[in-house]
A and B are shown apart, each in its own frame.
Chain A
Amino acid sequence: MTLNGLGLFILFAFALLLAGGMIALSSVLGRQKPSAGHLIPYECGIDPVAKPRHRLHVKFFLIAVIFIIFDVEVVFLYPWAVVFRDFVARGEGLFVFLEMMIFLGVLVIGLLYLWGRGALEWEE
């Protein structure tokens, strides 16, 4: 095992010990008096005003899926933008640029489809 691995192991063991120790100590030292007040969710002392499981409108699901697609697009654009200068310096700028434009083009086709099918209309 390398030194790095050992350090990681020690960190892991320490974290386990700390978290486990807190739970163990509180179950040994703490007083066990379950009451209705103890069992409600803790919201900084205020009584909870709503159930934690809301019913959400199904439209949010579609929006979430669409969001993921364009989120991934942005995530991919960042590293591309960071290394773009290096590629330009090596004379491969045009190639890398076109490659990203193809990727974006494919996503634009997807966006056009969503638009045409009315997936972006909230009121209906």
Chain B
Amino acid sequence: MMPTDWSIVLNLSLPWIVVFAAATVTLLASASARLRTSPLVALTALAGIITAFVLSWQQWISGSGPIIATLAFDRLSSFGWLLILGIAALTILMSFSYLQDRHAGHPEYYALLLFSAIGMGVLISGYDLITIFIGLETMSVAIYALAGFFRERPQGNEAALKYFLTGAFASAFLLFGIAFLFGTTGTTDVGMIAAQQNQVLSSDLRSSFLFGLAMLVIGFGFKVAAVPFHAWAPDVYDGAPTPITAFMATAVKVAAFIAFLRIASAVLVLTGVLWEHLAWGLAVATMLVGNLAAIAQDNIKRMLAYSSIAHAGYLLVAFTALAQDPTGLSRGILFYLVAYLLMTLGAFAVVTATQETGEAADINLLAGLSKRRPWAAAMLALFLFSLTGFPPTIGFFGKYYLFLGTVKAGFIWLVVIALLNSAISAYYYLRPIVVMYFHEPRETEEKHALPLASPLVAVIAITAISVFLFGLLPTNLLAIVEHSVMAFLQ
């Protein structure tokens, strides 16, 4: 492992080092009483993220790098890292006024956010199961703390504890699976496992190997909240601070799905019909439970939690057919991830705006929003239409590419089920819109709310413009996604 050229490694991992440096500065600033309340801390974190974003954008342009030891520096990594950094930047912007309104401007919040982002970067680039596990844990441990960041709130404590206990349990499954894969193949390197797979599958180690893979799927299924490993999601999403809920619903899913894509397309698809059956079952269960349970929710954060479960189900639909058309479906999955993160972040940003200085997220509180905050109401409607998959938005093209690829691969019935589920989802996505525009507010609330903080407006504007723009002109984004996919499948 030693004689690699360290200047290359240093150069390739420069974005991570920048984020780590920013996180360290933020953390140490929070130890000083004078800097604790300064807004400079959030700006430092944001500056670090933006610098890293520019650096990895340059890396993406310069093409796919090599796989060095346990990390793959290909375009998929750069692309995934760009998404994570983008989400982190938007989350920081969203959190700024959220924390100020609640007089809780602790800089540790930003440090934890950055540490979590580094973990996600490692998770995405990991080409060795142990590295992937370390990335996953770095990501999760920071998020556990963030979920319960407001220690005075009982719901926050409940969220953190539930997420931590079930998350640690799921990590144990993942580690158990890795141990079995190591025991049967003698390596934790993803590429080497894939190379040995056919030989192992025809030997008497077959059942142990498959057991290891199943454990691996459970571990990832938990992180992306696939049914039957989803039970934590609604409570955790509801109890966590809203910007953190947005971060969990987008960044964690993007990172886990990209790492899962890497493993699935290298290892899982080689098990053939076994993986197809497993993914088929997971996808159908996830879509059905997510969509049906979302109907019954009166709390918009819980509704969005179940909606994020349902979207994980749509993504798993494409994972089912991954063996037939790896390039096309990986492209579809990545495009859908971009679409999903934009519309979900946007929706949560508007929810943050409607919460004013409180924590309540009951759907009836949206009544009269169209008069109080006409722009916010219109944007929430746009995001919800996009989540449903109506045409002039990115949500439509996301679903279109995802399902088209799956149909071409021959899974027509699966796509029929997915489309029926999309139809179900219209019911609960349209309900907040009805409440916003047609219900009168119950009490005599003040008609004109205070103007929103400008960083929050910026988040809503950026996501709304992206949702709309890529919904009209998806070709550029599709080309970027296509280039990101090609290298890692070779």
Contact = CB atoms under 8 A, between A and B. Distances in A.
Interface stretch (B28-36, B423-431, B482-490): B28-36
Contacts of B28: 109, 112-113, 116
A113 B2 contact: no
A109 B24 contact: yes
Contacts of A115: 31
B-side interface size class: under 10
A84 interface: no
B467 interface: no
A116 B2 contact: no
B27 interface: yes
Interface string B1-40: 0100000000000000000000010011011100000000
B108 to A, nearest CB: 9
Interface string A85-124: 0000000100100000000000001001101110000000
The 4 closest A-B pairs by CB, nearest first: A116-B31, A92-B2, A113-B31, A117-B31
A92 B27 CA distance: 33
A109 B114 CA distance: 15
Contacts of A117: 30-31
A109 B2 contact: no
Contacts of B30: 113, 116-117
A95 B32 CA distance: 34
Interface of B: 2, 24, 27-28, 30-32
Nearest to B6: A95
- Dominant secondary structure of chain B at its interface with chain A: helix
Nearest to A105: B24
- Dominant secondary structure of chain A at its interface with chain B: helix
B98 to A, nearest CB: 23
Given A112-B28, A113-B28, 14 more contacts: A92-B2, A95-B2, A109-B24, A109-B28, A112-B31, A113-B27, A113-B30, A113-B31, A115-B31, A116-B28, A116-B30, A116-B31, A116-B32, A117-B31
Contacts of A112: 28, 31
A112 B32 CA distance: 10
A113 B108 CA distance: 10
A102 B65 CA distance: 25
A60 to B, nearest CB: 19
Task: Pick the most buried of B27, B30, B31: most chain A CB atoms within 10 A of its CB.
Answer: B31
Contacts of B2: 92, 95
A92 B6 CA distance: 13
A112 B30 CA distance: 11
Contacts of A95: 2
Contacts of A113: 27-28, 30-31
Task: Pick the most buried of B2, B28, B30, B32: most chain A CB atoms within 10 A of its CB.
Answer: B2
A106 B166 CA distance: 28
18 contacts: A92-B2, A95-B2, A109-B24, A109-B27, A109-B28, A112-B28, A112-B31, A113-B27, A113-B28, A113-B30, A113-B31, A115-B31, A116-B28, A116-B30, A116-B31, A116-B32, A117-B30, A117-B31
A45 B92 CA distance: 63
Nearest to A94: B2
A113 B112 CA distance: 13
Contacts of B24: 109
A26 to B, nearest CB: 38
A77 to B, nearest CB: 19
A113 B31 CA distance: 5
A37 B24 CA distance: 60
Nearest to A115: B31
A2 to B, nearest CB: 16
Nearest to B3: A92
